[in-house]
Structure 1
Amino acid sequence: MEWTATFIAPAAEIDGAPTFRGQFVLSRGADEIQSAVLRYSAKGVIEVTLNGRAVSDEVLAPGWTSYEWRLRYSEVDVTSLIGEPEVEILATVADGWYRGRLAWRGGREVYGDRAEAIIQLTVLYRDGTEEVVGTDSTWSVAGSAITRADLYDGETIDARLRSAPAQWSAVTESAEGLDRLVPAQSPAVTRTGTLAPVRTWESSGALMVDFGQNLVGWLKLVVQGPSGRVIRVRHAEVLEGEALAIRPLRSALATDEFILSGGLDEFEPTFTLHGFRYIAIEGCSPEVALSEITAVVVGSTLTRRGWFESSSAELNRLHENVVWSTRGNFVSIPTDCPQRDERLGWTGDIAVFASTAAFLVDSSAFLADWLGDVRTEQAAQHGVVPWVVPDVLKYPAVRGDLELTGPTAIWSDAIVWVPWALWMTHGDPRVIHDNLDAMVAHLRAVESQLSERGVWEGGFQFGDWLDPDAPDDKPGLAKADPDVVATAVLYRSSALVSRMAAAVEDAAATRYAADLADRTLAAFHDAYVTRDPFRILSDCATVYALAIAFDMLDGDAREAAGDRLAELVAEAGYRISTGFAGTPFILDALTSTGHGETATRLLFQRERPSWLYPVTMGATTVWERWDSLLPDGSVNPGQMTSFNHYALGAVAAWLHETLAGVSPAEPGYSRIRFAPLFAEQLDHAGARIVTARGEAGIRWERRDGSIVIDLEVPAGATGVLCVAGDDDRELTAGRHRVTVAAR
């Protein structure tokens, strides 16, 4: 279907979220209609009703894309909503990501300064003829009951305006943006669940509410009270004492305001978004009756694929925290955090987390759509993948004095690491075909930055970001030399690109990436590795973890690196000493070099910094810092203290693949590797995933001095069971039970 509708905007400025109205009389009645399809989009976020009923359950449509090049539109079947020939379409548009506040410097109207909508209804009659109506100059616009709406700051709804006569006025047309409209491929953002309060109490004149779970979404409130009374709702992820801890929000207000009509009012602020577990409701008094307080969970609609369970309640809670952080940060795009004045598509976060995400949920369409924006932004920046996608940091109003030049290790490598994770999980080579040119462009951009020594050195790097030994106010001061990290990352990306290019039989890309990998590996050893004694420059856990996990060492060198890594972990008291770069790989590096006991001691550490310390402090999502909340219950004094940040949750991949023991030996789980680690801290553990061929799973349990392993291999796949000390066992499709001696 072609677009015949145009974008429309208010001819005069309207405060808050305007509502557009189109009224039509179709040429025939409902009994002659075969189908009716509505397509809609907005420069902003839009909700549409047809004849008084919502056209879909989607919220925050059309989501966030790199609007300069791509603007999604939704398409829904509305046949059931059309009865009589008279049709009324109402569409309310709020600022959203398009012209609302973005990032921490207060930048607004980054993409445009007008709220615009485009809607087109196509009716197909039973005789094969079509009738098309849509937005044009005949539509009108009026203010709505939503007088303020911002994703960061919150929403104001004046219920008195719901019954006030609308003051309809003219609209203007615009063809600008029609060429950027693309059909939505990513799953829609919807309401995915609700939570009731687990505790309420009064503090400082406010009604405090605890929902028991840190979540992303908004509050639904049903209330009755005096007309004009303002009910104010503030949100926070944690408490300090009995008060909301709002400092982690930085400048985000995260406050909704509801103005009562005098009757029974229902409020649900669907044009904002909050990350919260706790709320404070202000404005209550004896004459105000609250009959419903519900937290509405919001996120992209992703089907759960993978599960993990064990005999450790704390480990299970850690895994559940990872799941909740995935849900909360997969909202139209993969974000870093959902609560403060940031909420950006940081490429580094998803680069290290993509394998975990791909196991937990069917993220293939979601991440494939986002990768389309990565490629677009990269092409506009001469092969450089930016820090965030969509890249709002390229705009001065958002960027401020930040200097963004050249590729950055891990962050820019998202264009390689995310497709790799999707291919290994799903086995669909389309993700390689779609992104291979961009992967090669990234490698060439990095290659242009290499020094005469052939290593990636001298430029800006995030490096081992948020090293726990770094000062709270200087998160980039890591123990690991950033050039060592960057060069290791280049080697990994080159090797992965070579493997993916070979899989799609692109000989030129295979040769180029393989040659770059070989040269980078040799340069890494020449510049950073010494042999007597064996050391890698900066001699800290992260550099050894990366060199081992990325297969940069052979024979004695690999063994020596594993021994040194285990020694450093022990010297740190089996507490985490790695940051953003090293943490996702340290457990794998330990176990693959024969130090499984060291790995499990590190995993099960409960003192900070550790994965389980937040669990002991009541965390229900993954924190940005190891100690975002200090033992005395106060918030870490650093600026970066998100309590919903999935990056450090990348450890879940190790829980799935090693502690339980199921991973793809070949892309798409066509061949499955079962290699469990029988941690002495556990009586049982298991993981399962729904693959393209069916469910694959493993569960092991200690019984009477033995370990019983139950395995499932889906039809059309094969498997191999690898148990230390035993010969590998080949597995055919079906269910298997194997008993081995306790380890």
Structure 2
Amino acid sequence: MPVTESVKSQSAYQIICASSKGFLPNNPDLWDSKKQESPQSTFVKYQGENLKSRQKVYWQIRFWNQDENASDWSEINSFELGLLNNTDWQAKWVGLNTAKNNIRGVRKFLMHRPQYLRKGFELSSDVVSARLYITAKGVFDVHLNGNDVSDDVMSPGWTPYNHRIETLTYDATEFVQMGKNSIAVELASGWHSGRVSRRTALYDNFSSPKILCQLEVVLKDGSKQTIISDESWKGTTNGPIRLASVYDGEVYDANLEIPNWTKNDFDDTSWVPVETEDITNSVTLEPKRHNTVKPKMMLEDAEIVSVNNNIAIFNLKQNMVGVPKLNVPMKKGDTLKIRFSEMLLSDGTFYTTNYRSAKSTDYYIAAKDGL
């Protein structure tokens, strides 16, 4: 409710929902809250008709001010539901067996090489709409035909994996086309099989990270094509991200970059078939109930605290979560080490005692001379 000269408080509200724009505001077929005498303007519980997976809902709202004068109806807004039930998924969990490498890190924690997973597919007609339903046991970044599908970071985020895994829905219409297409996913341990406790890994029974992916495309001829994660996918761990850990940071070797691996003309014949795992009823798959992590701002001017030989310390002047953006002259084979801390001591040196065993360090290995 906007506060203006004539609107100082809210005395009532009304919410209406419909399955089509044309039904609003006079024939809301999903829900009409009627006039509710209440100052409440957030967290009003939906109490209309039962909604289904993939359903699009159109809604409007109006309010009454302190003098019982009604506002105009708001513009028509909408929301769309994801896949609400495990049975809506045709896909399988897919990934590589990275546990077998038996890479051990701090306190002998099992570490997993990040995975590069992909599948090529063809669409027989022009695309009207496309929805990508996706989640991971781990964290992922997904690409369609070489395009980043979103700017989300470390999706799908933390969840109690043995009870509930949160799924995401992306409008992928602009990223797919008639003819050849490709879907490509980077996958790392994240909180699922990474070191996030002081003792053993929380979810040892689910060792190697996996993704679950279902792309549903409506074509111009009215037909529907569904591309799922299954045995036809291929993968490799021989990519530039060598290790990635929530607590310990990331190792990136530019010598192992895979040009164009996210694009549909990439030759993946040397990659290996994925392993698959069926969806189980014991773990609920349900749409994420809160916002994803996204970039919010760029801090432009980091203060240089000190420079000593080839070491520089920067002060960002706040405790925050982010990634460094650096231009550094390097020679082929050089390693750039970037260490993070939550504060500086009074003499300008790093304070990392509170990190205990967390390394919180990134490494970049250069593939050529230059910046």
TM range, smaller chain:
0.5 to 0.7
1:5 aligns to what? 91
Residue type of the alignment partner of 1:193? M
Q: Structure 2 CA distance, aligned partners of 1:250 and 1:169?
A: 38
Residue type of the alignment partner of 1:94? A
Q: TM-score, normalized by length of structure 1?
A: 0.34
Q: Structure 1 CA distance, aligned partners of 2:232 and 2:365?
A: 32
> In the TM superposition, what are the counterparts of 1:162-241 in structure 2 within 5 Å?
162-163=257-258, 167-177=270-280, 180-200=284-304, 201-203=306-308, 205-240=310-345, 241=347
> In the TM superposition, what are the counterparts of 1:251-270 in structure 2 within 5 Å?
251-262=357-368
1:160 aligns to what? 255
Q: Deviations over 1:63-112 (max 9, x none)?
A: 11111111011100111112342111110110000000113336465462
Task: Please state whether the residue corresponding to 2:323 is helix, strand or coil.
Answer: strand
1:24 aligns to what? 121
Q: Structure 2 CA distance, aligned partners of 1:220 and 1:106?
A: 33
In the alignment, structure 1 residue 145 sits paired with structure 2 residue 240: yes
The offset of 1:18, in angstroms, is: 0.5
The offset of 1:218, in angstroms, is: 2.0
Q: Is the 8 A contact 1:224 1:260 kept in 2?
A: no
The offset of 1:170, in angstroms, is: 1.3
Task: Please state whether the residue corresponding to 2:363 is helix, strand or coil.
Answer: strand
> In the TM superposition, what are the counterparts of 1:679-690 in structure 2 within 5 Å?
none
- Over the residues paired in the alignment, what is the CA RMSD in angstroms? 2.2
Q: Structure 2 CA distance, aligned partners of 1:216 and 1:194?
A: 11
Task: Please state whether the residue corresponding to 1:160 is helix, strand or coil.
Answer: helix
Q: Structure 2 CA distance, aligned partners of 1:147 and 1:212?
A: 31
Residue type of the alignment partner of 1:70? R
Q: Structure 2 CA distance, aligned partners of 1:222 and 1:83?
A: 36
2:351 aligns to what? 245
Q: Structure 2 CA distance, aligned partners of 1:108 and 1:117?
A: 18
Residue type of the alignment partner of 2:123? L
1:104 aligns to what? 198
Q: Structure 1 CA distance, aligned partners of 2:360 and 2:313?
A: 15
Task: Please state whether the residue corresponding to 2:320 is helix, strand or coil.
Answer: strand
Q: Residue 88 and residue 203 in structure 1: after superposition, are their counterparts in 2 closer, same or farther (change >3 A)?
A: same
The offset of 1:197, in angstroms, is: 3.4
1:83 aligns to what? 177
Q: Is the 8 A contact 1:37 1:122 kept in 2?
A: yes
Residue type of the alignment partner of 1:27? S
Task: Please state whether the residue corresponding to 1:148 is helix, strand or coil.
Answer: strand
Q: Is the 8 A contact 2:214 2:228 kept in 1?
A: yes
The offset of 1:147, in angstroms, is: 0.4
Q: Is the 8 A contact 1:197 1:210 kept in 2?
A: no
1:122 to 216, 221, 234: 216
Residue type of the alignment partner of 1:256? D
The offset of 1:57, in angstroms, is: 1.2
The offset of 1:228, in angstroms, is: 1.5
Q: Residue 115 and residue 108 in structure 1: after superposition, are their counterparts in 2 closer, same or farther (change >3 A)?
A: same
Q: Structure 1 CA distance, aligned partners of 2:211 and 2:135?
A: 6
Residue type of the alignment partner of 2:278? A
The offset of 1:127, in angstroms, is: 3.8
Residue type of the alignment partner of 1:39? Y
Q: Is the 8 A contact 2:248 2:361 kept in 1?
A: yes
Q: Is the 8 A contact 2:247 2:358 kept in 1?
A: yes
Task: Please state whether the residue corresponding to 1:48 is helix, strand or coil.
Answer: strand
Q: Unaligned regions of 5+ residues in structure 1, if any?
A: 265-288, 290-743
Task: Please state whether the residue corresponding to 2:318 is helix, strand or coil.
Answer: strand
Residue type of the alignment partner of 2:117? F
Q: Structure 2 CA distance, aligned partners of 1:116 and 1:221?
A: 31
Q: Residue 76 and residue 11 in structure 1: after superposition, are their counterparts in 2 closer, same or farther (change >3 A)?
A: same
Q: How many residues align?
A: 262
Q: Structure 1 CA distance, aligned partners of 2:280 and 2:241?
A: 26
Q: Structure 2 CA distance, aligned partners of 1:216 and 1:239?
A: 16
2:25 aligns to what? none
> In the TM superposition, what are the counterparts of 1:215-614 in structure 2 within 5 Å?
215-240=320-345, 241-262=347-368, 289=371
Q: Residue 163 and residue 176 in structure 1: after superposition, are their counterparts in 2 closer, same or farther (change >3 A)?
A: closer
Q: Deviations over 1:13-55 (max 9, x none)?
A: 5652101111101122xxx321011111110001100001111
Task: Please state whether the residue corresponding to 2:337 is helix, strand or coil.
Answer: strand
2:226 aligns to what? 132
Structure number with the higher helix fraction is: 1
Q: Residue 154 and residue 139 in structure 1: after superposition, are their counterparts in 2 closer, same or farther (change >3 A)?
A: same
Residue type of the alignment partner of 1:10? L
1:488 aligns to what? none
Q: Deviations over 1:119-162 (max 9, x none)?
A: 11100123432110111101000122110100001011111111
Q: Is the 8 A contact 1:68 1:111 kept in 2?
A: no
Q: Structure 2 CA distance, aligned partners of 1:192 and 1:97?
A: 22
Q: Structure 2 CA distance, aligned partners of 1:163 and 1:175?
A: 30
Q: Deviations over 1:566-589 (max 9, x none)?
A: xxxxxxxxxxxxxxxxxxxxxxxx
Q: Structure 2 CA distance, aligned partners of 1:177 and 1:149?
A: 27
Residue type of the alignment partner of 2:308? S
Larger Rg: 1
In the alignment, structure 1 residue 74 sits paired with structure 2 residue 168: yes
Quick one: percent identity of the two aligned structures? 29
Q: Residue 198 and residue 220 in structure 1: after superposition, are their counterparts in 2 closer, same or farther (change >3 A)?
A: closer
Q: Residue 24 and residue 152 in structure 1: after superposition, are their counterparts in 2 closer, same or farther (change >3 A)?
A: same
Q: Is the 8 A contact 1:20 1:92 kept in 2?
A: yes
Q: Structure 1 CA distance, aligned partners of 2:303 and 2:234?
A: 46
* Bigger relative contact order (CA 8 A; separation at least 6): 2
Q: Is the 8 A contact 1:230 1:259 kept in 2?
A: yes
Task: Please state whether the residue corresponding to 1:8 is helix, strand or coil.
Answer: strand
Q: Is the 8 A contact 1:197 1:209 kept in 2?
A: no
Q: Residue 259 and residue 108 in structure 1: after superposition, are their counterparts in 2 closer, same or farther (change >3 A)?
A: farther
The offset of 1:259, in angstroms, is: 0.8
Q: Structure 2 CA distance, aligned partners of 1:115 and 1:231?
A: 28
Residue type of the alignment partner of 2:302? V
Q: Is the 8 A contact 1:232 1:257 kept in 2?
A: yes
Q: Residue 107 and residue 175 in structure 1: after superposition, are their counterparts in 2 closer, same or farther (change >3 A)?
A: closer
Q: Deviations over 1:347-404 (max 9, x none)?
A: xxxxxxxxxxxxxxxxxxxxxxxxxxxxxxxxxxxxxxxxxxxxxxxxxxxxxxxxxx
